[in-house]
A and B are shown apart, each in its own frame.
Chain A
Amino acid sequence: MSYDLKLKEMNDSKKQNIDEVVLMKGNEAIAHAAVRCGCDGYFGYPITPQSEIMETLMELEPWNTTGMVVLQVESETSSINMVYGAAGCGKKSMTSSSSPGVSLMQEGISYIACGELPCLIVNVMRGGPGLGTIQPSQADYFQSVKGGGHGDYKLITLAPASVQEMADFTVLGFDLAFKYNTPALLLADGVIGQMMEKVVLPPFQPRLTDEEIAKRSPWATVGKPATRKPNIITTLSLEAEEMETINLRLQAKYREIEKNEVLFEEYDCEDAEYLVVAFGTSARVSQKAVEMARAEGIKAGLLRPITLYPFPTNAISNYADKVKGILTVEMSAGQMVEDVRLAVNGRVPVEFYGRLGGIVPSPDEVLNALKTKLV
């Protein structure tokens, strides 16, 4: 579905709450959206720059209203395994962290993907490697879309570029996770997490009842009635043939996701001679750079991947036949640019501009890179 249609669908569902325009941080928007979309459980460990997510939840005290459980635990290792346990019961559960904490979660994420459990993981990225910095970064792209943990699996990866999208994609991430019984990742950066913008929060949805969960997720471990076989959530198959069958099922699911769920946004692309590809904060900066280029008579456009997995390969491939060159802008040493190059397959030059370690590029820098590398 095109992003415009998806956005329209979302906006229509929000009309009833249009008077609820509020000003808040991206991290706070995630917390509010989680409560409103009927999330059953949040498990987390504090880390900058996303601690406001758990702090906001603790202030909201949703256990007194919707019954949602919010628990601060001993590590990200524990929080992701709590998500595994909750998701295994068919519950809508989530965790959030930032880069070093998400590295610690990779074991659990691999288990969740193999167990085919739906959940939402939020990564508000900061500069790495190592303990790195608390400033914003996009250097976890590879970790997010190429695996991260062990084995052949994929995460549906949504990249918000505004506080509104932090709220919207919390809802969308859960929807996609439950549509495919697979973990979804909301991949933001420290700018989107920390900045304040106006936002229309999603409407309240009640949490599902036990009966509704049993109907939606008949595989869930909720206690075995005499009438059915036991439900078992496991990720172990000692027989290689059995494990290959599980892998093939996962791969078939990923092909479906790639076919149905690609989202991206285009800006000034119709007559573009030069295409900029960027996501999240880099896309916000690049949009300004495109406007500045247009003012100088350079026909530039911006393609913003919203789903990083599934990646908008076809859309980018189509532009390779229309434009003279592509510039990929990232707050990393150049990670997504590899997927852009795969989509373009050598037909036009694909250049890269990035800042590392927590630095956000300026529109001037991006415009300059566009001019010196391509125009």
Chain B
Amino acid sequence: MTTAEIINPANLVYEKPKLLNDTPMHYCPGCSHGVVHKLIAEIIGEMDMQEKTIAIAPVGCAVFAYKYIDVDWQQAAHGRAPAVATAVKRLMPDRLVFTYQGDGDLAAIGTAETIHACNRGENIAIIFINNGIYGMTGGQMAPTTLDGMKSSTCPNGRNVELNGNPLDITKLLAQLDGTCYVTRQSVHNIANTRKTKKAIQKAFENSMAGKGTSVVEVVSTCNSGWKMTPEASNDWMVANMFPKYPLGDLKNE
């Protein structure tokens, strides 16, 4: 088979999403961010929403999300993405507005902004990457760090008496009247990646339909922060993260 035959559109079974830029990603190999980015780029393309999308990037590893997905972006201050998104959507109600945030950003410093945006029922989607650790600053304890889990600021493992309890903020957000769809997914295998794609698409559709706030938590790995290989990270996530953060819909109205 020649190269020309291989790249014949009739033989094409997979291609890079058009809205995913060629910029090499800075994410560590094995990190979940790249997969979720790809899904978002794919969905916006399939929904033909590039011209209508304004995305809000967080502070954390995904601060550079704007380099990778070919839409208009605003990079918010740490934790403030839901406030920024609120204003964008209120002033331009026909646009697709979503935030992309990690657990430190969304569940620690931005707790107030997250809860109040969700409680007001802003017509935005929140994509929440929960890897139980502060990735960008080098693996410190996050609000979501599991009991006993090691990080650079709890080197002997999180001690609930000393550090308090891990926060299941998604469960909390599902209680609020303003949220219409709250789900927890993962991207560690193909079946779950497909489910995550469907969840994000539904979140985007909800926000365009004006149904309220949608939250898609993606339980993720941080193999660098966890100090494991990508494969071991996936296994560790299934064994340890999923019992505390079980997958599935928490709310679907």
Question: Which residue from chain A places its CB closest to the CB of B49 in the assembled complex?
Answer: A223
Q: Are B52 and A221 in contact (CB under 8 A)?
A: no
B91 close to A89 (CB less than 8 A): yes
- Asked if B51 lies at the interface with its beta carbon under 8 angstroms from chain A, I say yes
Cβ of B56 within 8 Å of any chain A Cβ, yes or no, is: yes
Which listed residue, A43, A93, A108, A235, touches B75 by the CB 8 Å rule?
A235
Residues on A with C-beta less than 8 A from B83 are 73, 77-79, 81-82, 85
Kindly state whether residue A135 has any CB partner on chain B within 8 Å: no
Q: Let me know if B87 and A83 touch, CB within 8 A.
A: yes
Quick one: given A91-B91, A236-B63, are A84 and B84 in contact (CB under 8 Å)?
A: yes
Cα A227 to Cα B156 in complex, Å, equals 53
Give residues 76-134 of B contacting A (CB, 8 Å): 76-77, 80, 83-88, 90-92, 95, 112-113, 116
Contact yes or no, A69 B77, CB < 8 A: no
Minimum Cβ distance to chain B for residue A149 (Å): 10
Q: Which of B64, B66, B87, B116 contacts A230 (CB 8 A)?
A: B66
**Assembled-state Cα–Cα distance A40/B88 (Å):** 11
Total interface residues on B, CB under 8 Å, equals 32
> In the complex, are the beta carbons of A226 and B73 less than 8 A apart?
no
Is there contact, CB below 8 Å, between B50 and A226?
yes
B91–A41 touching, CB < 8 Å: yes
Q: Are A81 and B72 in contact (CB under 8 A)?
A: no
The reply to whether B91 and A111 form a contact with Cβ atoms under 8 Å apart is: no
Question: Counting CB contacts under 8 A, is B170 at the interface?
Answer: no
| Residues of B34-93 contacting chain A, CB below 8 A | 50-54, 56-57, 63-64, 66, 70-77, 80, 83-88, 90-92
Is A75 interfacial (CB 8 A cutoff)? yes
Residue of A with least CB distance to B78: A107
Residue of A nearest to B82 (CB): A78
Query: In the complex, which residues of chain A have a beta carbon less than 8 angstroms from the beta carbon of B51?
Result: 223-226
Minimal Cβ-Cβ distance residue in B for A91: B91
CA distance A214 to B53 in the complex (A): 15
**Residues on the B chain within 8 Å of A111, using CB:** 77
From A85, A234, A236, give the contact of B87 (CB < 8 A): A85
* A46 beta carbon closer than 8 Å to chain B: no
Residues of A close to B73: CB separation below 8 A: 221, 230-234
A47 within 8 A of B: no
A93 to B75 alpha-carbon distance, docked (Å): 18
Q: How far is the CA of A167 from the CA of B196 in the complex (A)?
A: 51
Shortest Cβ distance from B52 into A: residue: A223
- A116–chain B nearest beta-carbon distance, Å: 13
Q: Does residue A100 face the partner (Cβ distance < 8 Å to B)?
A: no
Determine if B70 and A221 form an interchain contact, defined as CB atoms under 8 angstroms apart: no
Q: Which residues of B contact A91 (CB under 8 A)?
A: 91
User: In the complex, are the beta carbons of B74 and A233 less than 8 A apart?
Assistant: yes
Chain A residues 64 to 108 lying within 8 A of chain B, measured CB to CB, are 69, 71, 73-75, 77-79, 81-86, 88-89, 91, 93, 107-108
Contact between A85 and B116, CB atoms less than 8 A apart: no
Q: Given B54, B64, B80, B113, which contacts A221 in the complex, CB threshold below 8 Å? A: B54
In the complex where A230-B71, A232-B75 touch, is A74 in contact with B88 (Cβ < 8 A)? no
User: Within the assembled complex, what's the spacing in Å between the Cα atoms of A41 and B86?
Assistant: 11
CA distance A225 to B63 in the complex (A): 23
Contacts of B54 in A (CB 8 A): 89, 221-223
Q: How far is the CA of A177 from the CA of B188 in the complex (A)?
A: 47
For A40, the closest partner residue in chain B by CB is B91
Determine the distance from Cα of A226 to Cα of B19 in the docked complex, in whole angstroms: 11
Give chain B's interface residues, CB within 8 Å of chain A: 50-54, 56-57, 63-64, 66, 70-77, 80, 83-88, 90-92, 95, 112-113, 116
Apart from the given pairs A74-B113, A107-B77, A232-B72, 8 other A-B contacts in the complex at a CB distance below 8 Å: A78-B83, A81-B80, A81-B84, A82-B83, A84-B76, A88-B84, A226-B51, A230-B72
11 A-B pairs within 8 Å (CB atoms) are namely A69-B90, A73-B86, A78-B112, A84-B84, A84-B87, A85-B83, A89-B92, A108-B80, A224-B71, A230-B72, A232-B74
